[in-house]
A and B are shown apart, each in its own frame.
Chain A
Amino acid sequence: MAFLNSVNDVAVYLLPLIVSSSFFFMLTVAVLVLVLVTIKFTIILWEKDKETAKSWMLPHIRDFVSGGIRELPNKLFTLRWPLRKILQYVIIHESFGKDGIALKRITDAYESLGFVKNDLSRLDSWFWWTRAEGARCLGQMKSASSQSRLLSKLRDPVTEVRLIAAWALGRIGNPEIIKPVIESLARSSRLAGMRLSSTVFELGRKAVPPLTELLSNPDTAVKILSVHLLGELADKRPISSIKKLTEPAQNLEVRLAALKALGTIGDPLSLDCLVNWLSDEAWQIRAQAAKSLGLIGDSRAVEHLSKSVGDSKWWVRRNAGEALTKTGIKGVEALKKLFIEQKKSPSGKMAAQWLDEIGYLPAAD
């Protein structure tokens, strides 16, 4: 009973405390609801303002771009926030899909209205999304004068800012940016690789010499990224440099990237090198070599690929079988021979699977 009484005393003390806290808590949450409702209504009003402003700004911009007027109307230069912000994005949206003289007119308009200066100052913002947005606008407008500032953003602590800066630099089109961009993003994500592909494709063949130079960079990640990008560009010039990266002295990941790139480039000059690595110690190398031979599709590899269909590793057998389906009639004949002569063995079964994929196996039913 004494215990119960002491429990009762505690409960008598605590209960009103919890009850008052509950009401206070609910009041706080109710305020949170009001705040969110206010945010929602602000968004609705902003969207309405935007549509109204766009409807009268757009004709002026389009007239200027088409050459209908020589100068932008004065009222555009005297706009204040938020109309000025809306105008900036009207111009940016107009630049999508444009190039040549039309893009030049748009970028001139953008610069004359002072937006490039604004974007450059946004690059120093405390908020990463403002820095990224500044970089993006400068990239979209191909602002060559902002190159050095964008290069400094390659060392930004936030990955998204670095990615956008890399893309913007690619848009500007100077191949000298390749090295700093790759060194800054080599250890980032697949998204970085994806964004770098865009950068490199913006530059096209101009990107090949600097990327080839990077193949001898001491950083493995830089080598891997560079060889991958060279593969995507599918230029034959760096083939001999890429072949050197397939040597056993190199890191496994580098070798794999190099073998993959040789396959993507697809030049028969790589044949001997790839055939050689079909008998490498590492099964990953053998598998990738087989896959790349399939991408090249040269029938001179058929005999070697047929042996690889009997490899001890499933992935090597699989890739070799697939490669044979891509090396023309000789490859298909080799698969049929394997299927007939070694039906019950792993190579026979793999051959059956690939013949079935390409419709050369009689239906099982």
Chain B
Amino acid sequence: MTKLDIFLRLISLLILIYFFAVSLTYVFLFILSFFGLLHHQIKNRFSTPNEILKAKITPPVSIIAPAYNEEKGIVSNVYSLLALKYGLFEVIVVNDGSADNTLETLKREFTLRKTAREYHPQIPTKEVRAIYKSQTISNLIVVDKSNGGKADSLNAGINVSLYPLFCCIDADSALERTSLLQIVHPFMEAYSRVTATGGLVRVANGCAFEEGRCVRVRTPEKWLPAFQIVEYFRAFLSGRMGLSMLGCLLVISGAFGLFKKEPVIQAGGYRTDIVGEDMELVVRLHRQFRRKESRAAIVFVPDPVCWTEAPESWKILSRQRNRWQRGLAESLFAHISMLLNPFYGTTGMISMPFFFFIEFLSPAVEFVGYFIFAAAYVRGAVDIYAVAAFFLFAIGFGVVLSLLSLLLEEITFHRYPNLRDLAKLILAAILENFGYRQYLTLVRGKGMIDWLSGKKMWGEMERKGI
């Protein structure tokens, strides 16, 4: 055998070992998630959201909704937030220097007037031009500020907020009525220990909404958002649940998360110079707590649901995933000293390696793997069984993992009652591994290249609106 053949064989072996390890990790996380979800469902039988609603010790919450050019949907979104079932809460809409009539629409609909409320810039932000209060709805505040991005808007909202907990939400997402009651549950169980909780994000495409509330759950007509439904099941129900069980959850979705305000202020708030500000904040909170020799309990709660619109075109999807990959890279490398560092406990030894070696590197390894195995087989460096094993992992395991996640959803929440929808999701779980995932591998690979070249743009997300 020539040196090249030996090299190809060695790389093929390493890639196979990598995929074997990745698959084992996912199965391990799945098993953890399965038992975690089961335990959670059993515990849920013994407490209800209504009890938390009536209890006087339920902590008050400030809901912060950054809004940029949302004039079409902002009113219905605000009404749906105000209609949430919860005790004491306020809704803070932060108008991030919109170029359209977002602020005027809000002023008109909610009879806003400027207030003398003091602005405490505990976290530095871009200029806050005015703080408005609704004359018709006592718990609605609108902050008008210069454009600074989502992170800057969230920081402004934190500065204005009255309450010890804040909930970050995207203005174009829709929460279910009891979502806030459910996401606050871990704080009720262990207030002094819990720092943040994250809920489940579901794909709204195909569902019917009335006044910002989901009234019927259906799968979308198009296949692209259907693939994303399955993907979200994998990410949230299998992935995040498992990491939460290990006490090292590294990301709370920016679309729906509940945080204790004080630790976030002490950590300096959201970073405005990176695109993955949601993940980076959580990593920083872990780091901050470890340095104080305590633990940031960051918990995933699978019940509370946030409905969000998934991209329906390949172009918008690729922008989104490109941004997510860059955000992941930025967040990881901002705290690279935590990687495999035992000082940071399970965060450094499990979660950081998971995100770095699997979530971050896998597009590159998979992409290279296709070429290496093709070349190795052609040159006779590996036999057909090795090639079959590679494709089993690259594609076959993906099908299995998607089906497992779908089954998890069916056993626990069963939100798609229609058999036709279930059949579509099963097909999506299979078909997504023949083209869709490979496309995302390419997009994420490009994301890595863009990150390396210092690209910072968010890219425009076109939405129909819920």
Residues on A close to B: CB < 8 A? 1, 4-5, 7-8, 11-12, 14-16, 18-19, 21-23, 25-26, 29-30, 32-33, 36-37, 39-40, 43, 129, 132-133, 136, 160, 163-164, 189-191, 193-195, 197-198, 228, 232, 349-350, 352-353, 355-357, 359, 361, 363-365
Contacts and interface: CB of A to CB of B under 8 A. Distances in A.
A352 B115 CA distance: 9
Given A40-B410, A365-B114, A7 B20 contact: no
Contacts of B392: 22-23, 26
A8 B46 contact: no
Contacts of A40: 407, 410-411
A363 B113 CA distance: 7
Contact of A189 (B13, B116, B191, B410): B191
B118 A349 contact: yes
Contacts of A350: 118
Contacts of A19: 16, 385-386, 388-389
Given A23-B389, A191-B188, A228-B57, 6 more contacts: A11-B6, A15-B382, A25-B20, A190-B55, A190-B59, A353-B117
Contacts of B10: 7-8, 11
A232 to B, nearest CB: 6
B9 interface: yes
A126 to B, nearest CB: 14
Nearest to B14: A11
B117 A15 contact: no
Interface string B1-14: 10100110110110
Contact of B188 (A8, A22, A190): A190
Contacts of B386: 15, 19
B118 A353 contact: yes
A26 B397 contact: yes
A21 B411 CA distance: 29
Contacts of A352: 116
A287 to B, nearest CB: 14
A194 B16 contact: no
6 contacts: A15-B16, A32-B27, A228-B57, A364-B114, A364-B116, A365-B114
A30 B9 contact: no
Given A43-B411, A197-B56, A365-B113, A29 B400 contact: yes
Interface of B: 1, 3, 6-7, 9-10, 12-13, 16-17, 20, 23-24, 27, 42-43, 45-47, 51-52, 55-59, 113-118, 130, 133, 135, 185, 187-191, 382, 385-386, 388-389, 392-393, 396-397, 400, 403-404, 407-408, 410-411
A145 B214 CA distance: 46
Nearest to B3: A4
Contacts of A364: 113-116, 130
A124 B232 CA distance: 41
Contacts of A26: 392, 396-397, 400
A15 B410 CA distance: 38
Nearest to A47: B414
B261 to A, nearest CB: 14
A160 B55 contact: no
Contact of B115 (A12, A190, A349, A356): A356
Given A160-B43, A190-B191, A353-B118, A22 B407 contact: no
A28 to B, nearest CB: 8
A190 B187 contact: yes
Contacts of A195: 47, 51
Contacts of B185: 191
Contact of B116 (A37, A160, A198, A356): A356
A11 B42 contact: no
Contacts of A197: 55-57
A133 B44 CA distance: 12
A29 B52 CA distance: 40
Given A193-B57, A194-B57, A15 B12 contact: yes
B46 A194 contact: no
Contact of B46 (A16, A33, A164, A365): A164
Contacts of A359: 135
Contacts of A353: 115-118
Contacts of A4: 3, 6-7
B17 A18 contact: yes
A11 B13 CA distance: 7
Contacts of B407: 33, 36-37, 40
B276 to A, nearest CB: 31
A39 B404 CA distance: 12
A16 B12 CA distance: 12
Considering the complex of A and B, which 9 residue pairs feature the smallest CB-CB distances, nearest first?
Answer: A194-B55, A364-B114, A36-B407, A22-B389, A356-B116, A190-B188, A352-B116, A19-B389, A8-B6
Contacts of B6: 4-5, 7-8, 11
B51 A36 contact: no
Contact of A190 (B189, B382, B385): B189
A163 B393 CA distance: 46
B188 A11 contact: no
Contacts of A189: 188-191
A363 B114 CA distance: 6
Given A7-B6, A353-B118, A356-B115, A39 B411 contact: yes
Interface hub of A132, A356, A361 (most chain B Cβ within 10 A): A356
Contact of B389 (A1, A18, A43, A129): A18
B400 to A, nearest CB: 5
A189 to B, nearest CB: 5
Nearest to A354: B116
Nearest to A5: B6
B46 A18 contact: no
Given A29-B400, A194-B188, A11 B389 contact: no
Contacts of B57: 190, 193-194, 197, 228
A1 B4 CA distance: 12
A22 B410 CA distance: 27
B42 A129 contact: yes
Contacts of B190: 189
A55 to B, nearest CB: 20
A116 B463 CA distance: 57
Most chain A Cβ neighbours within 10 Å, of B13, B56, B135: B13
A137 B400 CA distance: 41
A17 to B, nearest CB: 10
A356 B117 contact: yes
A137 to B, nearest CB: 12
Nearest to A128: B42
Could you say which of B45, B130, B408 has the most chain A C-beta atoms within 10 Å of its C-beta? B45
Nearest to A129: B42
B1 A8 contact: yes
A363 B133 CA distance: 11
